[in-house]
Structure 1
């Protein structure tokens, strides 16, 4: 790439549907206390700020009548960064939402809190406020499909404006329906090449479609597919087996392995399921125990020999761009997503297994307070390794995990090069830039 050429960046781990949902939600990221959080929600819900919870059956009936106003979605708080270091209570939420079903999503996307009206609709128990199951949250009504597609297209436009020309959606709930929806959004905003993972427990939804193949929207397929027999019926998507990552569609990526809450034992079964479908895996690993279970599962269920050969690490090969160069029937290395906390011996195993690590250095700077409060000095030294990965010849790409962190390569590069926590993991600014670049 010449000095005169404008670089194209990649975001190799984000969540497009969640980004679109965040755009249409009440943004509460600015709240620094539970009181500020409740004020923002109450204002959006149209409820009386600071009002007391209902005291008698007449007040309860008035509150419940507010359900006809429709659901309210808020997003972006982090309980650890609030002054009180806690989630809001159901009594506090009910006081400001006045019966309007309300779900407040944590900035990580892995937990939410619901008021009584929402909890009743979602089948939660009386007084239950904290939701840590995505199948429960799936019961929240969604906008019309056209609105979702438009929102994702707007997100892709934002990525293009930030200089990002390729991204990977790493959502563990993706299935064929999600890929078809994303394909429609890509057709509307084709400036960004999109790869989308599929949940390891949802691979049957693909109906035999393979890793590396491309799903096109009906409009794109009608323009690009030769032969009337391959043009899909109106309103459906189609696999164009001859398509590549350069076509205006969504490439089928890794099988995403997200262990159920507090159940790392499920990782091995999910990896085995992915292997049975011929998919490489991308395993979510934010702590030492989950990473250990992931490495054990990968050793117990190795990839086919051809994939193992293709995934040998190289200390000199540029990291990242080769990830988008596979087509149907080809293979890629397995991935560890995040690798937020890792022992040195675990990094050695990652290198031996030839894995790629897709990490998010912005977490080190954005959550420095949280890490200093919750981790010992020894654990802080193992936090979000980067230099240690590269020294071992491990392939690394930087990314955002958007919407949790903005999809802004400049921020990732700065965090990678100038982090305060675990400064031994800093890398050269130019090397950080290389880990963000996408080379077609």
Structure 2
């Protein structure tokens, strides 16, 4: 990460626990082919085996009592950017990591491949690629809480070094336990203001807590140091946008604004339908000098990503008063994929930015880390000099404003 400015910046969409997990993983994000990816995993397995052998010769044990160390976690591949344009297979992963239960995570965090040993441990009967199967992957052993807290604190400290003063964790599996862990980590890095969303299907875990409240860190000096409870995150189940409306309704019942993950036209359409069917919450509790109280929204709903959108959908976003939190780096990092898979017309609808601003829509730039580094200088560069869909470029001062905090 590079320091962009002495000013404060906000990364309004990232995943702190995923950033922490990526640090503990074999990193294959630089691999350009499956062969190169497998070679990196093979080397990691050899190093691990050598370390285990050395420990045994010294009469010790390797990470005794921590089952997570018997598993191999690999992270960072993108099938669309590999020469083969496909996911690695179970057999290929077995060929280099047969001695360990191994999980290979896609760079987006939404897809994983597990080898035979891991599949057996997780109760899987087949070697299918796991798409949005966080329920299955939750059973993979994890490091102890203290280690995770320390790593998340390190991530937050590096955000501060990069000039980022505030961030929003947009993880759809967040519940109260996750927020408490993040709050404990945030107490160790008080220079970064942390907000964390909660999964719309996990709001009941909050008990008497609600939107806008602070979950304090255990080691915080005051209750103000911790994690602010943010939007209810709506993540449509894979290939099932019909669930969006129900999740939005659940959030409204708990008086939460929503942030909806929308990467394609169909999901965006279902999201806008749901938002229209379940209008934003109004807050009429604030005081006013006059007898007449003007109701106001608790906070605008959000569309996360807005990766592909029709012009008429952008008009509708503006009419509904919905904000968009987007990641301009995707259009530059994945330009080859988009040119290969999308028509010229579809390319013009990719990752809109100037079109959003012309309609008066509130826009914030972000990273989606660990998918893209939390580096504001990269977002600004991508927003101002993109070669794919150049009509969506914005000027540098506007880009700067869209990722500043406060």
Give the TM-score normalised by structure 1. 0.82
**Distance (Å, rounded) in 2 between the aligned partners of 1:306 and 1:95:** 58
Residues 254, 281 of structure 1: 8 Å contact kept: yes
RMSD, aligned α-carbons: 1.9
Unaligned runs of 5+ in 1: 49-66, 226-246, 308-328
Shift of 1:129: 4.3
Residues 286, 338 of structure 1: 8 Å contact kept: yes
1:148 aligns to what? 148
1:208 aligns to what? 208
**Residue pairs, 1:280-299, within 5 angstroms:** 280-299=257-276
1:408 aligns to what? 375
Residue from 341, 363, 371 that aligns with 1:374: 341
Distance change (3 Å), C-alpha of 1:144 and 1:421? same
Shift of 1:98: 2.2
**Residue pairs, 1:192-341, within 5 angstroms:** 192-220=192-220, 223-224=221-222, 247-306=224-283, 331-341=298-308
**Distance (Å, rounded) in 2 between the aligned partners of 1:429 and 1:339:** 21
Distance change (3 Å), C-alpha of 1:29 and 1:272? same
**Distance (Å, rounded) in 2 between the aligned partners of 1:68 and 1:176:** 23
Aligned length: 374
SS of the counterpart of 1:105?
strand
Give CA-to-partner distance per residue, 1:132-162, whole Å, 9 cap, x none.
3111111111100000001100100110011
1:56 aligns to what? none
1:98 aligns to what? 98
Give CA-to-partner distance per residue, 1:407-431, whole Å, 9 cap, x none.
0000000100000000000001110
Shift of 1:303: 1.5
Unaligned runs of 5+ in 2: 49-66, 285-295
**Distance (Å, rounded) in 1 between the aligned partners of 2:177 and 2:228:** 14
Distance change (3 Å), C-alpha of 1:68 and 1:202? closer
**Distance (Å, rounded) in 2 between the aligned partners of 1:330 and 1:370:** 39
SS of the counterpart of 1:224?
coil
Give CA-to-partner distance per residue, 1:351-407, whole Å, 9 cap, x none.
000010000000000000010011110000000000000000000000000000000
Residues 359, 397 of structure 1: 8 Å contact kept: yes
1:399 aligns with 2:366: yes
Residues 99, 116 of structure 1: 8 Å contact kept: no
**Residue pairs, 1:153-164, within 5 angstroms:** 153-164=153-164
**Distance (Å, rounded) in 2 between the aligned partners of 1:126 and 1:7:** 51
1:41 aligns to what? 41
1:360 aligns to what? 327
Give CA-to-partner distance per residue, 1:322-377, whole Å, 9 cap, x none.
xxxxxxx9710000000000000000000000010000000000000010011110
4+ residue runs over 4 A deviation: none
Shift of 1:210: 1.2
1:177 aligns to what? 177
**Distance (Å, rounded) in 1 between the aligned partners of 2:69 and 2:177:** 29
1:168 aligns with 2:168: yes
